[in-house]
Amino acid sequence: MIDRKFCVAPMLDWTDRHCRYFLRLISQHTMLYTEMLTTGAIIHGDSDYHLQMDAFEHPVALQLGGSNPADLATACKMAAQYDYAEINLNCGCPSDRVQNGMFGAVMMKDAEITANCISSMAEAVDLPITVKHRIGVDDHDSYDFLRDFVGRVAESGCEVFLVHARKAWLKGLSPKQNREIPELNYNRVYQLKKDFPDLEIIINGGVTTLEQSQEHLQHLDGVMVGREAYTNPYLLASVDQDIYGATHAIKTRRQIAEEFLQYADNELSKGTKLNAMTRHILGLFHGMPGARQYRRHISENAHKPSATIEVLTTALEKTSGE
């Protein structure tokens, strides 16, 4: 069983395997998502590079980008060899590159194509197939449009919908602006749950605290946090206790950093570049004494060809934060 009460969103160029390992050190129960991977990258690229993960990261969902049912089915079969807990179809990304590939948020305009994709994915693997989408796209932003989209996709077998509570503008706004300018409409997502009580509805968009998360959980099945979990990752420190009711001790920032040191040292021995890992931990001491010096030392030194684990140990000495 997958418990999606608290999730970290798929974030392009951010939620790679090093990031997910780091976040898992902070929370045992949070559901983690990969960055979006296109079917082309998996089928025609280095699939092992894209799909590999450490068993410690579990549970992890793979997010796919694509609109060809056969390609999505093939990518799902390839991904099934890597022990993902779920495969999620991206129907929310508004970037020009994604639109040109006819996937992402543009798929909301054709629920029939989206439903066919879900059916093919579900037939290919014995894994939950879920959808992440917006509450609308361009001028298709009525509640009726959203309800009909979810209803048609649910008919194809999808039982879990991760809903970014903003619509997407496909022209005129950048992906960053699409995360900020369209107005949030949480009530519309709440209404979805009322209309589809048997579906699992997860809300995304604008959530920055556990208090906000707990409020949403009064109405919905789960909450998905994006940028805040990346820039201020210690937000996850009490998720296991506050959201999932776990009784194990909350780790200190320093404990987490020291555990990540061991991971980084092992990855360095395999040829992984230090800055590929350290870029994800810059926010660990957010708001703590010495946080700026900690970030600066890592940023100025981790990218050097000669960089070793000493960069991290020295950075830790610059903060007194626990």
pLDDT digits (tens, 9 = 90+) for 127-168: 999 999 999 999 999 999 999 999 999 999 999 999 999 999
Q: What is the pLDDT of residue 9?
A: 98
How distant, in Å, are the alpha carbons of 8, 135, 149, 163, 181 from that of 184?
18, 9, 19, 11, 9
End-to-end CA distance of the chain: 34
Query: Letter for the amino acid at 252?
Result: T
Cβ–Cβ under 8 Å, residues 89 and 113? no
Q: What is the pLDDT of residue 102?
A: 74
Q: What does the mean pLDDT of the chain come to?
A: 95
**Distance, CA of 156 to CA of 102 (rounded, Å):** 20
Tell whether the model's pLDDT for residue 101 goes beyond 70: no
pTM equals 0.95
Instruction: Write out pLDDT tens, residues 264-281.
Output: 999 999 999 999 999 999
Q: Which helix (H) or strand (E) holds 136?
A: none
215-240: average pLDDT: 98
Flag whether pLDDT at 98 surpasses 80. Answer: no
As a dihedral over the C-alpha atoms of residue 206, residue 23, residue 272, residue 33, rounded to 10 degrees, the angle is -60
Query: How many helices and strands in the chain, by DSSP H and E?
Result: 16, 9
Q: What CATH architecture is 253-317?
A: Up-down Bundle (1.20)
Q: How confident is the model at residue 322 (pLDDT cuts 50, 70, 90)?
A: confident
Q: What pLDDT is stored for residue 170 in this prediction?
A: 84
* pLDDT in the model for residue 321: 66
322 vs 2, 158, 283, 314, CA distance in Å? 32, 43, 13, 15
* Residue 118 near residue 103, CB atoms below 8 Å: no
DSSP label at residue 219 = T
What value does the mean pLDDT take over residues 171-197?
Answer: 89
Distance CA(11)–CA(92), nearest Å, equals 12
Here the tokens at position 164 are: 């970014």
pLDDT tens-digit readout, 3-22: 999 999 999 999 999 999 99
pLDDT at residue 99, as a whole number: 58
- Under the banding of pLDDT at 50, 70 and 90, the label for residue 171 is confident
The answer to whether residue 85 scores a pLDDT higher than 70 is yes
* Residues carrying an active site annotation: 93
CATH architecture of 6-242: Alpha-Beta Barrel (3.20)
Query: How long a stretch of residues is the chain?
Result: 322
Please tell me the distance from the alpha carbon of residue 199 to that of residue 59, in angstroms, as a whole number: 21
pLDDT above 80 for 39: yes
pLDDT at 70: 97
Pairing of strands 37-38, 31-33: unpaired
Domain with CATH 1.20.120.1460 in the chain: 253-317
Region(s) of the chain under CATH 3.20.20.70: 6-242
Is residue 207 within 8 A of residue 185, CB to CB? The reply is no
